[in-house]
Amino acid sequence: MTERDADPPLRLEPADAANDGGAVRRESDPAAQAKVSPMIAQYRDIKAANPGSLLFYRMGDFYELFFEDAEIAAKALGIVLTKRGKHQGDDIPMCGVPVERAQDYLHRLIGLGHRVAVCEQVEDPAEARKRGGKSVVRREVTRLVTPGTITEDSLLEPARANRLLAIARAAQSEGASTYGLAALDISTGEFTVSEASEAALEAEIARIEPAEIVAPDALMDAPGFTRACAAVRAPLTPLGRQSGEGASAERRIREYFGLATLDGLGGLSRAEIAAAAAALFYIDRTQFSARPALGLPTRLGRDAHMAIDAATRVNLELTRTLSGARAGSLIDAIDRTVTAAGGRLLAERLAAPLTGVADIARRQDAIAFFIDEAALRRAARTTLKAAPDLTRALSRLALDRGGPRDLAAVRDGLIAAAALGGALGRASEPPEELRAAGAAAGGVDAAVAARLGEALADSLPLQRRDGGFVRPGFDAGLDESRALRDETRTVVAALQARYCELAETRQLKLKHNNFLGYFLEVPQAQGEKLLRAPFDATFIHRQTMAGAMRFSTADLAELEVRISSAADEALGREQAIFAELAGLVLAREADIRRTAEALATIDVAAGLAELAADADWTRPEVDASLAFAIEAGRHPVVEAALRREGQAFVANDCALSGVTGKGGRIAIVTGPNMAGKSTYLRQNALIAVLAQMGSFVPARRAHIGVVDRLFSRVGAADDLARGRSTFMVEMVETAAILNSAREKSLVILDEIGRGTATFDGLSIAWAVMEHLHEKNRSRALFATHFHELTQLAKRLDRIDNLTVRVTDWNGDVVFLHEIIAGAADQSYGVQVAKLAGLPAPVVARAKHLLAEFEAADRLSRSDRLVADLPLFSAPNAADRVSDPAAPSAPAQARDPLGEALDAIDPDELSPRRAMEELYRLKRIRAGQD
Ligand code: ADP
Ligand code: MG
């Protein structure tokens, strides 16, 4: 518990309560703590009112944590755990973080999924002292910091939305639950609602990628709900009863947005209303009086997006790699945006590919435009680079958490937007998406940016409370108080020189703190001298420190008043100007928000155009058919990785096009390890995702009928963390596919059935293929090491065999990564083992054994046996496929010749009997017997 990090925060001993904020912090008297001290009593009241949160309890320049919180935080942050007095006879564990570094520590605690209640002193310690020596400074929690409700740039990832997700369940009808989902990002104001069935809930949560999930207590023991939440990594916070349903939920939404009715929001369902209200309830609870500027809830149409479940997202590494990093993911490979908001919009589009053909075409048009208009694209990107994160700055200003740099961000964002709006306005015939964005970009009154430009100084402090951000000359009153304040500063310098003379020492310093005001500090030895005549007439002793003494004088006290009033006046004036400027900005909030969205849209279109032009991507043809025809497709991430090593990627075609009503085609891909099977499977799934997010795709040509659901699974993915066996995971995931894939879906199965014994695995894989072909009828790619499965192509008309070309070169296998029609003839496992550096004798022995096993296999198990496996002859007739087109099971033929042969025991036969038997067998063979 006493782990230290490399840089443990500075620790001072705690002051006792009445001295909060004072310069002197001394050890409290343990005896006085025998009973519950007033401070600990206050602490415990506040803690009880904020269950489930770590309490950051403000004491002077520190936030202190006590009891269990201290233990948790000390461990999580690697800071020193100390103790403070006693509570009911036991030491009270304590640790603390300095206020000026609190953000860092908050960041780490939030990252670990904790929630933090920030408790501030809400009165001057002097006020508390007036109430008597034992009084405690009044404190209140002013904010709950939770993973889903943060706004600080230092706590947020620039290119990632930070969403709070509230989930509610509608009253169940006939046992089927419908869930409402409300996702909101208070750092940007984004607020969307949607609805999902229980089966689709997990995929919907995975699309939203929440930082935190909240839901009514009642859902906490609904298995379907908790299972879906477990699939994402976000912490789950239960809400009390008060979150609201029905009429009270509706009222909460109306009141937040000042609406007379919810009718304008596009007919929200009961579940959606309950979820939106729960989200707003939680915002109230965490933000207290502050009110984030949220957009009106936007309803996402059902089936408007390609459904991609959590396992598929992980498996395809859309926004993170399997190890959780962004580098190496698809988003990393395609992100050429130059603004944080553009990065967020791109991620949002990638997470939710569209299903509407016209919407997809609209996005493609914008990219095509920017490919043709290369000069305009470059100019736009240069302008965008200068545009800061408008939305997040705006949100902080609305929460009254903004600083001078947020005002500057609005100024610079609006200037960039005006320039972009102008440039697009001059372009000839921009497509719809860009025309609208251009108009919105220039849509904010130019006076706002102009006023901010006049008011803000060239270099800006981080904090509003420090002042110094208003440009000299902007406000006459401010300039006057500043002059006065600065003049007194020169007075201070002169005074210090004068007191040095009076005290006959050069070691005297004129200093200031909140407790003493202005004072003089001298080393101990000099101090002793000043206590005596004649110096004691001028110097009044105030404090003795270790090695130093502090004095004041009558003049200094007067100076204190003069200086602080001038400085206070200047600061007060600046705060007023800040409030006026923030008010000016917030009055245009809706316009500015639209402008920010427009900038992000332009950034995404220009970025994807840049990518398409650079990496030679093409515009896919997307329609409502069952087409899936890719010519010379590539895997964008693998291709980029190979290019960095100076190697070329081998492009491959993929033809899965089917006919509506009959179903898509299934390709079974066999071939040695390391040949490129998995890469091929994934690249085709990624091309579908890219096409439907409205991007161009890495292929020479692509024609894709809209995919409604995408499934991608890899066999043998260990999931020890969730305590399920590999095989169980595989089967659960496969079951999900077989139960929900449809004709318009795309299914990618990579080595399913690996997690169990060969025959089990083969049988399951076989049956899965049959089901996909006959029932789901999805377009599918299936990579397998079971060569036997290639026999399926002979029996099922929409199954094709593909393999990867390899050549044997002097006994070594050479991978050509080229996908061709046909089945792999051998697995090359031994050759691959040799490539991997297995000792030569082991390789030679393995080769020998393989030859023997293969010979034995041909005699016993044999491909013939597998090829004869009857289709759909499972004993359970209810499961039998009734489709008359389905191949029927061949009748098990009788074999009289074999039976006769089996009946003969050669050892028992006389030569004459043997001859007779031989003639009899010939007759049976000729069918005469
Ligand atoms: P498999 O699934 O058949 O074992 P992978 O798809 O994992 O093989 O590919 C193994 C490696 O081969 C990849 O890491 C990649 O470096 C290379 N590779 C795969 N496909 C291609 C390709 N089309 N062109 C070039 N290299 C490829
Ligand atoms: Mg593989």
DSSP string, 34-46: SS--HHHHHHHHH
| pLDDT, average across residues 896-912 | 80
CA distances (Å), 453 to each of 86, 410, 412, 589, 759, in order? 56, 10, 9, 18, 74
Closest ligand, as measured to the CA of 806: 1
pLDDT at residue 885 above 60?
A: no
Q: Which residue has the higher pLDDT, 854 or 347?
A: 347
Q: Whose CA is nearest to atom 6 of ligand 1?
A: 676
| pLDDT, average across residues 237-245 | 75
Six-digit token string for 850 = 């393989």
Q: Whose CA is nearest to atom 23 of ligand 1?
A: 650
Six-digit token string for 755 = 């997690």
For 609-660, write each residue's pLDDT tens digit.
Answer: 999 999 999 999 999 999 999 999 999 999 999 999 999 999 999 999 999 9
Q: Which residue has the higher pLDDT, 571 or 911?
A: 571
State the distance from the centre of ligand 1 to the C-alpha of 674, rounded, in angstroms.
6
Classified as helix, coil or strand, 678 is: helix
State the distance from the centre of ligand 1 to the C-alpha of 601, rounded, in angstroms.
35
State the distance from the centre of ligand 2 to the C-alpha of 674, rounded, in angstroms.
7
Which of the given ranges, 507-521, 680-694, 837-851, 888-902, has the highest pLDDT on average? 680-694
What stretches of 188-321 show up as alpha helix (H) in DSSP?
Answer: 198-208, 223-230, 246-257, 270-287, 310-316
Distance CA 119, CA 139 (A): 6
Closest ligand, as measured to the CA of 671: 1
User: Quick one: pLDDT band at residue 104, thresholds 50, 70, 90?
Assistant: confident
Q: Which residue has the higher pLDDT, 371 or 136?
A: 371
- Give the percent of the chain with pLDDT over 90: 44
Q: What is the dihedral of CA 102, 107, 108, 109, to 10 degrees?
A: 80
Q: Which residue has the tokens 């509506």?
A: 660
Distance CA 153, CA 283 (A): 19
Q: Give the nearest ligand 1 atom to 819 CA.
A: 23
Distance CA 513, CA 22 (A): 9
User: Quick one: pLDDT band at residue 380, thresholds 50, 70, 90?
Assistant: very high
Among 212-216, 388-392, 730-734, name the one with the lowest average pLDDT.
730-734
Residue 597 CB-density burial (10 A; 0-12 exposed, 13-18 middle, 19+ buried): buried
For 673-719, write each residue's pLDDT tens digit.
Answer: 888 999 999 999 999 999 999 999 999 999 999 999 999 987 654 44
The dihedral built from the CA positions of residue 629, 630, 635 and 636, taken in this order, carries a sign that is: negative
State the distance from the centre of ligand 2 to the C-alpha of 458, rounded, in angstroms.
57
State the distance from the centre of ligand 1 to the C-alpha of 5, rounded, in angstroms.
42
Distance CA 746, CA 709 (A): 6
Q: Where does 635-707 show beta strands of DSSP type E?
A: 652-655, 666-670, 701-705
Q: Which residue has the higher pLDDT, 2 or 121?
A: 121
| pLDDT, average across residues 358-363 | 97
Classified as helix, coil or strand, 785 is: coil
Six-digit token string for 453 = 């430009």
CA 432 to chain CA centroid, Å, is 30
User: Quick one: pLDDT band at residue 56, thresholds 50, 70, 90?
Assistant: very high
State the distance from the centre of ligand 2 to the C-alpha of 21, rounded, in angstroms.
63
Contact 699, 687 (CB under 8 A): yes
pLDDT at residue 14 above 60?
A: no
As a residue count, the chain comes to 929
Distance CA 263, CA 324 (A): 41
pLDDT for residue 123: 86
Among 86-90, 213-217, 887-891, name the one with the lowest average pLDDT.
887-891
User: Quick one: pLDDT band at residue 234, thresholds 50, 70, 90?
Assistant: confident
State the distance from the centre of ligand 1 to the C-alpha of 720, rounded, in angstroms.
27
pLDDT for residue 10: 32
Q: Whose CA is nearest to atom 13 of ligand 1?
A: 676
**641: alpha, beta or left? (left if phi > 0; alpha if psi -120 to 50):** alpha
Distance CA 698, CA 856 (A): 46
Closest ligand, as measured to the CA of 829: 1
CA distances (Å), 22 to each of 15, 19, 28, 60, 269, in order? 8, 5, 14, 7, 56
3-state secondary structure 341-378: HHHHHHHHHHHCCECCHHHHHHHHHHHHHHHHCHHHHH
Q: Whose CA is nearest to atom 26 of ligand 1?
A: 649
| pLDDT, average across residues 335-342 | 96
pLDDT for residue 94: 93
User: Quick one: pLDDT band at residue 173, thresholds 50, 70, 90?
Assistant: low
Classified as helix, coil or strand, 873 is: coil
Q: Whose CA is nearest to atom 10 of ligand 1?
A: 674
Q: Which residue has the higher pLDDT, 335 or 919?
A: 335
Distance CA 674, CA 782 (A): 16
CB neighbour list of residue 488: distance below 8 Å, 6 or more residues apart: 559, 562, 563, 566
pLDDT for residue 31: 47
Supply the mean pLDDT for the chain: 84
State the distance from the centre of ligand 1 to the C-alpha of 827, rounded, in angstroms.
15
State the distance from the centre of ligand 1 to the C-alpha of 794, rounded, in angstroms.
28
| pLDDT, average across residues 197-201 | 87
3-state secondary structure 96-113: EEEHHHHHHHHHHHHHCC
β-bridge mates for residue 62, sequence order: 59, 98
Phi, psi (5° rounding) for residue 246?
50, -130
CA atoms within 13 A on the CB side of 633: 27
CA distances (Å), 70 to each of 14, 67, 92, in order? 14, 5, 9
User: Quick one: pLDDT band at residue 567, thresholds 50, 70, 90?
Assistant: confident
Q: Using DSSP bridges, classify how beta strands 54-59 and 116-121 pair: parallel, antiparallel or unpaired.
A: parallel
pLDDT for residue 6: 33
Q: Give the nearest ligand 1 atom to 815 CA.
A: 12
β-bridge mates for residue 517, sequence order: 513
β-bridge mates for residue 191, sequence order: 184
User: Quick one: pLDDT band at residue 289, thresholds 50, 70, 90?
Assistant: confident
Contact 684, 702 (CB under 8 A): no
pLDDT at residue 587 above 90?
A: yes
Mutate-to-test residue for ligand 1 from 315, 644, 679, 802, highest number of ligand atoms within 8 A of CB: 679
Other beta carbons less than 10 A from residue 235's beta carbon: 18
Question: What one-character DSSP code corresponds to residue 384?
Answer: H
State the distance from the centre of ligand 1 to the C-alpha of 649, rounded, in angstroms.
9
User: Quick one: pLDDT band at residue 174, thresholds 50, 70, 90?
Assistant: low
| pLDDT, average across residues 505-517 | 84
Six-digit token string for 112 = 């670990």
For 867-879, write each residue's pLDDT tens digit.
Answer: 444 444 444 434 4
Q: Give the nearest ligand 1 atom to 652 CA.
A: 23
Contact 646, 760 (CB under 8 A): no
Q: Which residue has the tokens 């509610």?
A: 168
Mutate-to-test residue for ligand 1 from 635, 638, 652, highest number of ligand atoms within 8 A of CB: 638
For 717-776, write each residue's pLDDT tens digit.
Answer: 444 444 456 677 777 778 888 888 999 999 999 988 766 666 777 888 888 999 999 999
Distance CA 69, CA 116 (A): 10
Six-digit token string for 666 = 């299934």
User: Quick one: pLDDT band at residue 865, thresholds 50, 70, 90?
Assistant: very low
Distance CA 447, CA 445 (A): 5
CA distances (Å), 245 to each of 168, 205, 248, 488, 525, in order? 9, 21, 6, 61, 73
Q: Give the nearest ligand 1 atom to 679 CA.
A: 6
Q: What is the dihedral of CA 822, 825, 830, 834, to 10 degrees?
A: -50
pLDDT for residue 97: 92
Q: Give the nearest ligand 1 atom to 681 CA.
A: 6
pLDDT for residue 874: 41
Q: Which residue has the tokens 């002077």?
A: 60
Q: Max alpha carbon distance in the chain (Å)?
A: 149
β-bridge mates for residue 663, sequence order: 659
| pLDDT, average across residues 526-536 | 87
Q: Give the nearest ligand 1 atom to 672 CA.
A: 3
State the distance from the centre of ligand 2 to the C-alpha of 317, rounded, in angstroms.
15
The pocket of ion ligand 2, defined by CB under 5 A, consists of 678
| pLDDT, average across residues 289-315 | 86
Six-digit token string for 540 = 């009044």
CA atoms within 13 A on the CB side of 58: 22
pLDDT at residue 364 above 90?
A: yes
pLDDT for residue 717: 47
Q: Give the nearest ligand 1 atom to 648 CA.
A: 25
- Give the percent of the chain with pLDDT over 70: 88
β-bridge mates for residue 121, sequence order: 139
**155: alpha, beta or left? (left if phi > 0; alpha if psi -120 to 50):** alpha
Please list every protein residue whose CB sits less than 6 Å from any atom of ligand 1. Answer: 638, 642, 649-650, 652, 671, 673-679, 817
pLDDT at residue 577 above 80?
A: yes
In order, the DSSP letters of 504-554 are T-S--EEEEETTTEEEEEEEHHHHHHHTSTTGGGT-EEEEEETTEEEEE-H
Q: What is the dihedral of CA 765, 770, 775, 779, to 10 degrees?
A: 80
User: Quick one: pLDDT band at residue 884, thresholds 50, 70, 90?
Assistant: very low
Residue type at 367? I
Q: Which residue has the higher pLDDT, 489 or 111?
A: 111
Phi, psi (5° rounding) for residue 757?
-60, 155
Contact 640, 333 (CB under 8 A): yes
Q: Using DSSP bridges, classify how beta strands 540-545 and 548-552 pair: parallel, antiparallel or unpaired.
A: antiparallel
For 113-170, write each residue's pLDDT tens digit.
Answer: 889 999 999 888 888 888 877 788 999 998 889 989 888 887 888 888 999 999 998 8
Mutate-to-test residue for ligand 1 from 317, 674, 832, highest number of ligand atoms within 8 A of CB: 674
pLDDT for residue 35: 67
State the distance from the centre of ligand 2 to the C-alpha of 670, rounded, in angstroms.
10
Q: Whose CA is nearest to atom 25 of ligand 1?
A: 649
Q: Whose CA is nearest to atom 12 of ligand 1?
A: 676
